[in-house]
Structure 1
Amino acid sequence: MTVTRAQPGRNASPRTARAINDRLALRLLQDEGPLTAAQLKELTGMSRPSVADLVERLQDSGLIEVVGESGAARRGPNARVYGIVADRAHVAGLDVRVDSIGVEIADLLGRTVARADLAVSTDADPARTIESGIGLLLGAVGDRPLHTVAFGAPGLINPVTGRLSTTGELPAWHGDLVDEVRNRLGVPVLLENEVNLAAVAEQRVRGAAAGDTFVLLWIGGGVGAALVLEGRLRRGNSGGAGEVGFLPISLTGRLPTSTNCDDGFHGLAGSRAVCDLARAHGLSVDGCDAAAAAEAVRVGTPAFLDELAARIAVGAAAVCAVLDPGQVVLAGEVGSAGGSDLASRVAATLSRLSPLRTEVRPTAVPGGPILRGAVITAMDSAQNALFAPAG
Structure 2
Amino acid sequence: MKNAIKKWNSISLVKRIICGLIIGIILGLTVPQASGISILGDLFVGALRGVAPVLVFFLVMSALCHMGQGQKTNMKTIVILYMGGNLISALCAVIASYIFPITLTFSENTNTSDVTPPSGVTEVLTNLLMNLVDNPVNAIINANYIGILAWAIIFGVALKSASDGTKKALENISDAVSTAVQWVISCAPFGIMGLIFTTISEQGLEVLLGYGRLILVLVGTMAVVALVINPIIVFFFIRKNPYKLVFTCLKESFITAFFTRSSAANIPVNMELSRKLGLDEDTYSISIPLGATVNMAGAAITISTMALAAANTLDIKVSFATALIMCVLAAASAAGASGVAGGSLLLIPLACSLFGIPNDIAMQVVGVGFIIGVIQDSCETGLNSSTDVLYTAIADFRDRRIHPERYADKPFDPEIKIL
The answer to whether the superposition gives a TM-score over 0.5 is no
Which of structures 1 and 2 has the larger relative contact order (alpha carbons within 8 angstroms, sep 6+)?
Answer: 2
Structure showing greater Rg: 1
TM-score (norm 1): 0.22
TM-score under structure 2 normalisation? 0.21
